[in-house]
């Protein structure tokens, strides 16, 4: 039910969030999704976005009207600064969202690699078990052949009634 609420919330507010959630469901269904984070930010992304916002407010309320390069002063109209600051804040939020998605993608790929490694270990264990079973069956078959060879040799060396009955009893055990 939590996933349905998450998808419904994202479909109303953010089409990127919906596509990201569907991508997570397709690629790594075993990952449990956290509660729905706004803007799909994780903790480092929030720290980055809030830091950029604080720096933007400091720059906005400091009222810089000039920039100085190598002793040369360039005078700026203060309206330009508002647009530059607001565009830089948008870039900070976009960068935070891209970084959060990159970390999520890395986590999904790491989970996939872990699953592949687990599958390979399981396959190797199954192969070892099959090999051990085959070796055991082969050992049992060799033991039967040795017993048959021994009884046959006894019968050929001494064709008595006792050796004949042992050989017949042995063949009766082998027959299904």
| 1 pLDDT above the threshold of 90 | no
Parse the chain into domains and list their residue ranges. 1-36, 37-174
Please choose, from the candidates 67, 89, 69, the residue with its C-alpha nearest in 3D space to the C-alpha of residue 78: 67
Q: Is the pLDDT of residue 15 over 50?
A: no
For residue 140, give the H/E element and its range. Answer: helix 78-157
Dist CA 47 CA 93 (whole Å): 11
Q: How high is the pLDDT of residue 121?
A: 95
Q: Which residue has the higher pLDDT, 3 or 51?
A: 51
pTM over 0.85: no
pLDDT at residue number 176: 64
Q: What is the pLDDT of residues 69-124, one digit of tens each?
A: 788 887 777 666 677 778 888 889 889 999 999 999 999 999 999 999 999 999 99
């Amino acid at each position: 039910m939590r996933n349905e609420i998450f998808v419904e919330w994202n479909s109303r507010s953010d089409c990127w969030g919906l596509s990201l959630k569907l991508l997570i469901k397709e690629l790594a269904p075993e990952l449990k999704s956290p509660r729905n984070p706004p803007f799909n930010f994780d903790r480092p992304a929030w720290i980055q976005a809030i830091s950029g916002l604080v720096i933007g407010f400091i720059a906005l309320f400091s009222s810089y009207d000039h920039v100085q390069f190598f002793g040369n002063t360039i005078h700026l109209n203060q309206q330009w600064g508002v647009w530059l600051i607001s565009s830089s804040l948008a870039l900070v939020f976009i960068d935070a969202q891209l970084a959060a998605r990159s970390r999520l993608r890395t986590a999904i790929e790491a989970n996939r690699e872990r699953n592949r490694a687990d599958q390979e270990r399981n396959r190797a264990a199954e192969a070892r078990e099959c090999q051990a079973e085959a070796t055991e069956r082969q050992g049992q078959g060799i033991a039967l052949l040795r017993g048959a060879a021994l009884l046959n040799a006894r019968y050929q060396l001494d064709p008595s009634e006792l050796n004949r009955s042992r050989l017949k009893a042995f063949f009766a055990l082998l027959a299904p």
